[in-house]
Copies of this chain bind each other. A is one copy, B any other.
Amino acid sequence: MLTISQLAAYAGVTVRAVRHYHQVGLLPEPARDHSGYRTYGAADVVRLIRIRTLAEAGVPLARVQELLDASPSEFGAAVDQIDAELRAKVRELQEHRRRIAQLAAGDTLAVPAEVVTYLDRLRGAGVSTAMVEGERDAWILMAARWPEQIPEFMAEKNAQLDDPRTLRLYLLIDELNEAGLDDERLGAVADLMVEMNEESARRGDLDRQDGALGDDAFVALLDAFATSAHPMVERLQELMAERGWTGWIKMERA
């Protein structure tokens, strides 16, 4: 007669595992000796080994029972099914690996590739890290809301950046962020923005934007985000309002 640790040793499992199998009913509770110890025989070793064989092959414990007393054909079908489940898990993990491989650089985190390119262009042109991060976060939000439109949006953004005044705008705002709020230079920024908005309006860009950004609540959210990130935005909006323009992400004539 065997004690639980001897049984476990013969089968190559832990004592705790044996007790677990008792608990879930996989292995019947054996008789006890005079002091309450469980006593096992050779048949228990056999059953335990067969359980382990299945468990180590990835069979969920809940299904081991049915497999142990299945006919060969049932057994084959069940094995096929379990193998299919294992395949699915493998695929899932492979997908994880694929994704994690794409997370090489910091920016790539949650940002589509087009946006990364755009952000790199900004950085390369001398725009500050803080500003680029703000842009990145804004585009994370955009990509969450309109994943399909991102290539479209980025094409337009890149086109805007071809106009040297756009870059000048970014750099001016960067400077002001460092230097502190200076109403005279802010005024110049606002003037520049108005000038470019007028041109956009003439080209009809604003109308197209109206269609694309058709979720007022979300636009409000983005505006609030911009305001909280850069206090200067609020002041700029006031100056723009004086010049007849409201909004921020989506600019409109008052």
Q: Which residues of A contact B (CB under 8 A)?
A: 2, 10-12, 41-43, 45-46, 49-50, 52-54, 56-59, 72, 75-76, 79, 82-83, 86-87, 89-90, 93-94, 96-97, 99-106, 109-110, 137, 140-141, 144-145, 221-222, 224-225, 228-229
Contacts and interface: CB of A to CB of B under 8 A. Distances in A.
A221 B96 contact: no
A50 B110 contact: yes
B228 A43 contact: yes
Nearest to A90: B93
9 contacts: A10-B145, A11-B144, A41-B225, A41-B228, A42-B141, A49-B140, A52-B110, A86-B93, A86-B96
Contacts of A140: 45-46, 49-50
A25 to B, nearest CB: 20
B75 A101 contact: no
Closest 3 CB pairs of A and B: A58-B96, A42-B225, A57-B99
Contact of A109 (B2, B50, B99, B145): B50
Contacts of A100: 57-59, 79, 82-83, 86
Contacts of A104: 76, 79
A57 B228 contact: no
Contact of A103 (B46, B57, B228): B57
Interface centre among A42, A46, A100 (most CB of B within 10 A): A42
A92 B41 CA distance: 32
Given A49-B140, A53-B110, 19 more contacts: A41-B221, A45-B140, A45-B221, A46-B140, A46-B141, A50-B109, A50-B140, A52-B110, A56-B99, A57-B100, A58-B96, A72-B105, A79-B100, A79-B101, A82-B100, A83-B97, A83-B101, A87-B97, A89-B93
A49 B110 contact: yes
Given A54-B103, A82-B100, A109-B50, A45 B93 contact: no
